[in-house]
Structure 1
């Protein structure tokens, strides 16, 4: 009897030792998986997670595996793994937070907020989730709500630097009014333009409304001793969660501006930080028929970089003209701080200098241009914008009755005040 009891006791010890060894091994292996995941080796981390899960369920391991899918932008796979964890642990705040990140990165803001709210319903003072919710609200342009969440967070922890920085950005977005003055100086090195500079100044007022931003602008131009004014208005009405319009109309009774100009464009935000648009421009000069120009954009955010491509297609009696512009911007702390580079082939109706060329707008047969600009906000109120540009353009020389090439050097300086 003693022998049997001793054997059973020894077997129990062996089983306990085995379980303890497996638990220790699993813990060590899980730490290895985390280290691999945080160092960018996410496929290897997932392989280790699968090995652990094959021996027994572990919510932490499954949550890590789901997050690695999300970090690799495999959002559908991340949902499958994380929702399985949620079924077994409906109140697991780690998996709810992970699912909120998945939906946020996939531009599904209502779903992301729903997961945050489920955590905060049981743990209203969870500061990391409060910040997560505020970040989602800010990205979704729900600035009033984001400010309320951040202010509540900072009442509990006034030293939270991330919350302070985000609240500063949110309050900047809550400013409704903006006045801008901008000056552009263009120097031509060709005889056809008598080497006289063109100067353009505009003063504009913009206001954010619940329907979108509206802008009023007065343009003043000086060219060859001639002065001209143009009145212009823009609007950016929102028509859905991921859609807005660009509307433009301008009027002038002075010949170096179009007597009428109009613009329409429909913008749509796609998943994974893509954006596209389609629309057109209409220009009508005194004594000539109108010009219709078709355009659109296709762009994407790559981290802090924005890249977009915009063509302009102009049908005409002598065939169809196509111009293309590539824009790259590198954003810094917020959307008001950036440096940009634009390169183009052909003429753009959005280039205000060219609109001073009256009905000879399309006389610039070929054009290559490059522009660098810099935008910076000071004291959360003042914005500086400056730019340098160079263009090499073909133009029609009336005196020589032939096409020639000339260079244009441009300088731009603008200031804006927010209130």
Structure 2
């Protein structure tokens, strides 16, 4: 309606009128245009403040002068927000009938049908937008969320997979796919083997670590049980670990860990806790703590990360701070991953300094090992086969300080095979 009045105003300016005729006409049009803008702004503010009834009264007054899509959409949304779905449907479908490609109308109607538990109809509106190339990424994500909420996990995953295959480099989609995929195959078994070789200065036989883990995805989060077997210094030993990744809302989750061993190759007890949060613009951050128990003594390790998705890449920094009577020990890592088709297909590179208590090769058996100075670079490859098998392989080249300022090299090779079912 406002656009119509502006057009009329311009037409009037281009025509010849007497001063007496033109001035009143222009004033009336300007006042009407300004009043309409003011009242719509007022209605919008009232609606977002929760005063739906007053907002609707203003919308009706404006619409009495003629159709205005913005005002009609606001009117329809206020009905939907208040749970008056039939009234909302009448108003919003009228907008879509008048303007078939209206993005806001399709968005509002898909919301409305989703809230009304009409999932198929909500998906239908998303499909209409996608088919007509109206903000396809937005509506593909929305469609996947609706399907996932309706427990149609396979369809939700396929919707994202198909779009990512044709349009790579979509961080939010990659993240959602990683979140939804375990709902299709909720169980997994992972077998990991790691071997370390050392330069002659170490005078060590190769170290070997084998891990077998079972993971289960539930509505509350992911839970993992893991058995580690290590062979070092001519000694063998076992460690049991349990991990949990509880959901803490739409944009955050937690990490909890407990480990127990009666062998000197591992801490007697280990605890871990961390909070992860997704932020706008594809950022993620976390903060947490690790406790490693050696006999009656515990070592506290504080950790934090910051990461960001940018195109097909994931960049992250993690730090560890270990307070000690003799001084604070610092360690950390910088990682980058390059994703391909989805979250399970990538190559990665990590630069590390110092000992990480979360690194599988660092099965720390004493407090002293936490202060060892190391430098390392790791390359890895991860690929999913036929949606049920995942292969991860990596190699590390590093140096460990054996005397102040004197580093000797070590080389690590690891491979993991995961079966999803």
Pairwise CA distance, 1:133: 4.5
Look up the match of 1:142.
148
Q: Report the secondary structure of 1:391's partner residue.
A: strand
1:393 aligns with 2:396: no
Counterpart-to-counterpart distance in 2, 1:125 and 1:141 = 13
1:188 aligns with 2:198: yes
For 1:201-240, what aligned pairs fall within 5 Å after superposition? 201-240=210-249
Q: Report the secondary structure of 1:355's partner residue.
A: coil
Look up the match of 2:409.
407
| Contiguous gaps of at least 5 residues in structure 2 | 1-10, 16-67, 74-91, 131-135, 167-172
1:384 aligns with 2:391: yes
Look up the match of 1:3.
none
Pairwise CA distance, 1:228: 0.4
Pairwise CA distance, 1:150: 6.0
Pairwise CA distance, 1:241: 1.3
Pairwise CA distance, 1:161: 5.8
Look up the match of 1:352.
360
Pairwise CA distance, 1:142: 3.3
1:197 aligns with 2:206: yes
Look up the match of 2:127.
127
Cα contact 2:123–2:143 (8 A) shared by 1: no
Counterpart-to-counterpart distance in 1, 2:177 and 2:148 = 15
Change (3 A) 1:289 1:376: same
Cα contact 1:137–1:143 (8 A) shared by 2: no
Cα contact 1:363–1:395 (8 A) shared by 2: no
Q: Report the secondary structure of 1:290's partner residue.
A: strand
Look up the match of 2:77.
none
| Contiguous gaps of at least 5 residues in structure 1 | 1-14, 20-83, 101-110, 154-159, 397-401
Counterpart-to-counterpart distance in 2, 1:141 and 1:323 = 43
Pairwise CA distance, 1:202: 0.2
Tell me the number of residue pairs that the alignment of Structure 1 and Structure 2 aligns: 318
Counterpart-to-counterpart distance in 2, 1:275 and 1:145 = 27
Look up the match of 1:249.
258
Pairwise CA distance, 1:360: 2.7
Pairwise CA distance, 1:145: 4.3
Pairwise CA distance, 1:126: 6.0
Pairwise CA distance, 1:174: 1.5
Change (3 A) 1:319 1:112: farther
Pairwise CA distance, 1:128: 4.1
Cα contact 2:187–2:217 (8 A) shared by 1: yes
Counterpart-to-counterpart distance in 2, 1:303 and 1:312 = 28
Counterpart-to-counterpart distance in 2, 1:322 and 1:112 = 53
What per-residue deviation string (whole Å, max 9, x for no partner) do you get for residues 147-204 of structure 1?
A: 4866999xxxxxx96499999986664210000000001011143x423110000000
Pairwise CA distance, 1:274: 0.9
TM-score (norm 2): 0.65
Q: Report the secondary structure of 1:322's partner residue.
A: strand
Change (3 A) 1:194 1:150: closer
Q: Report the secondary structure of 2:111's partner residue.
A: helix
Cα contact 2:126–2:140 (8 A) shared by 1: no
Counterpart-to-counterpart distance in 1, 2:122 and 2:224 = 45
1:368 aligns with 2:352: no
Change (3 A) 1:379 1:247: same
Counterpart-to-counterpart distance in 1, 2:146 and 2:350 = 28
Counterpart-to-counterpart distance in 1, 2:251 and 2:177 = 25
CA RMSD of aligned residues (A): 3.9
Change (3 A) 1:147 1:370: same
Cα contact 2:123–2:146 (8 A) shared by 1: no
Change (3 A) 1:95 1:381: same
1:327 aligns with 2:335: yes
Counterpart-to-counterpart distance in 2, 1:347 and 1:161 = 41
For 1:225-304, what aligned pairs fall within 5 Å after superposition? 225-286=234-295, 289-304=297-312
Q: Report the secondary structure of 1:348's partner residue.
A: coil
Look up the match of 2:60.
none
Counterpart-to-counterpart distance in 1, 2:194 and 2:342 = 25
Counterpart-to-counterpart distance in 2, 1:351 and 1:161 = 34
